[in-house]
Homo-oligomer: A and B are copies of this chain.
Amino acid sequence: MNISAASKAAGLPVKTVRYYADIKVVEAPSRSEAGYRTYDDVAVRKLVFVRRSRAFGFSIEGCRELLGLYQDQDRTSSEVKRIASKRLEEIEEKQRELQSLHDELAHLVTSCRGDHMPDCPIIDYLG
């Protein structure tokens, strides 16, 4: 499988697959005589794994760690759960931040009349 076939199979842009190879997250298992990266099903599965992990917001380093566990027969589920729980807490923290941001901004937007006059509680608040 050349890189474009692998990228389609994995659901990732070619550029990203190449990038993951460069930073050694998921390397191409081999190269053709002409130097083309060649992928197999195992590599594609790793790419999919990274795509899904990224979708959960894991950093590349986090993906590296998870990928290590994915391939580790001797892993314990507690290791995985610890990493996922950490990410879950980050998400919850972000949710709290966004919620207070939302409430505050929504309040300002509601109180602004939005007419042709310059008076504006939003600008007042910021200034």
Contacts and interface: CB of A to CB of B under 8 A. Distances in A.
* A interface bracket (residues with beta carbon within 8 Å of B): 35 or more
A116 interface: yes
A88 B116 contact: no
Given A76-B115, A98-B91, A105-B84, A45 B127 contact: yes
Contact of A52 (B81, B102, B117, B126): B126
A109 B79 CA distance: 12
A15 interface: no
Interface of A: 45, 48-49, 52-53, 55-57, 66, 69-70, 72-78, 80-82, 84-85, 87-88, 91-92, 94-95, 98-99, 101-102, 104-106, 108-109, 112-120, 122-123, 125-127
Contact of A94 (B78, B98, B105, B109): B98
Given A76-B117, A80-B114, A91-B98, 10 more contacts: A55-B101, A76-B118, A77-B120, A77-B122, A78-B116, A80-B122, A80-B123, A81-B109, A81-B113, A95-B99
